[in-house]
Amino acid sequence: MQSAKRLAAVPAGQMLTVTRGLFTEPNDYGAGFDEGEAALVVNVSARFRASCDRIEIERLRIIIGEEKAARAAYVRLGANDALVTFPLAKSSTLIVRGEVVSYGELIWHNPGDRFHEWISRPAKWVRIRLTTAALSEAARDLELPAPLALRPRHVIVPEPTRREALLTAVNDVAQLARLRHDNGPPLDFVRSIEPALLQSLVYALADPTRSPQNSSSHRYNEIMLRLEDLVSSRLQQPLQLPQIAAALQISERTLRTCCEEHLGMGIHRYLQLRRLMMVRHHLSRSGPGTTTVAAVARRYGFAELGRFAATYQHAFGELPSTTLARLPQSPNSSPRENGRTRTGQTGQVI
């Protein structure tokens, strides 16, 4: 049972920032996850659709995301903040490091962590980012062991009352985001949000019930990280399965198993989509007359241009020439550019 101790409300002048983004481009969606965090998002469907509400309070950054189609992502966290992720709808499931994270479960990521995450169907989830110092301080105030003792790569299963308390606090944050775009939330409501969420998060992480990761899962995760290092250094080359397996010093069967568990797709499909994403990124930031589809395609290892165009259209719902013909996007553009409302391919931010 939860202790009667409570965290104090924050001062009335606390920071509150709410940003809402609607995305149709995986590259922009991955870039908009959070500052200090990089995500390469690979879409599996030609119609990518996602939305994010990003709420920043004094010690917490919360992202509530909703995605409409299957995708895979390779995420690299910054060196300063930890991350907690969990599904926010009963029908939602995340696969993180090859482990299934269902509704009512959550997973902890250490600062600097790298991992793969994928979904096979529409999903709604929440990501809570905070410094380890803030989490330790909250645990100390509540007279609980610091959750930092938790090893990463565990799916944590809070007991039902703690799980419901955490979900209630997250729903209050979602309400805060909605109110922020209307007439503004009441001050007392704003001041109570952060301590309530932080407290419920500490209690959920302190729950001893967890699903340990077996040794093969840990080994597969390490293989996938080595794969990413290899691919990043040779992205412009169409690598083949035997070549990759030999470089990683594993069997082809093991490589296939790793990719299916961590990406939800085979290695050939993943590498092809990665190179297609690089082509699209390049074309969308170029303009007519500055380059050609053929030059960009060849740069990323697509030698047969007719087959490339058909594959590109199947992946993105348009020909590469159509992408190039649009006005180029700024290399540094994002759905949060200078806090202004922006419209375009990446959607709209309020």
Domain boundaries, the chain: 17-211, 215-325
| Annotation: CATH topology of 215-325 | Arc Repressor Mutant, subunit A (1.10.10)
Question: Which residues, listed in sequence order, are joined to residue 155 by a DSSP beta bridge?
Answer: 107, 211
| Percentage above 70 pLDDT, the chain | 78
| Annotation: CATH topology of 17-211 | Jelly Rolls (2.60.120)
User: Could you give the angle at the alpha carbon of 214 between the alpha carbons of 266 and 165, nearest 5°?
Assistant: 95
The DSSP line for 191-257 is: HHHHHHHHHHHHHHHH---EEPPPHHHHHHHHHHHHHHHHHHHTTTS---HHHHHHHHTS-HHHHHH
The DSSP line for 145-190 is: --GGGS-SS-EE---HHHHHHHHHHHHHHHHHHHHHTTT---HHHH
pLDDT one-digit tens code per residue, 132-163:
888 888 888 888 776 654 555 578 888 899 99
pTM check: above 0.75 = yes
User: Could you give the angle at the alpha carbon of 198 between the alpha carbons of 193 and 199, nearest 5°?
Assistant: 100
pLDDT one-digit tens code per residue, 161-212:
999 999 999 988 887 777 665 555 556 666 678 888 998 998 888 866 666 5
3-state secondary structure (DSSP) of residue 290: coil
Phi, psi of 122 (to 5 degrees): -50, 145
pLDDT one-digit tens code per residue, 293-313:
999 999 998 989 999 999 999
* Average pLDDT estimate for 122-140: 89
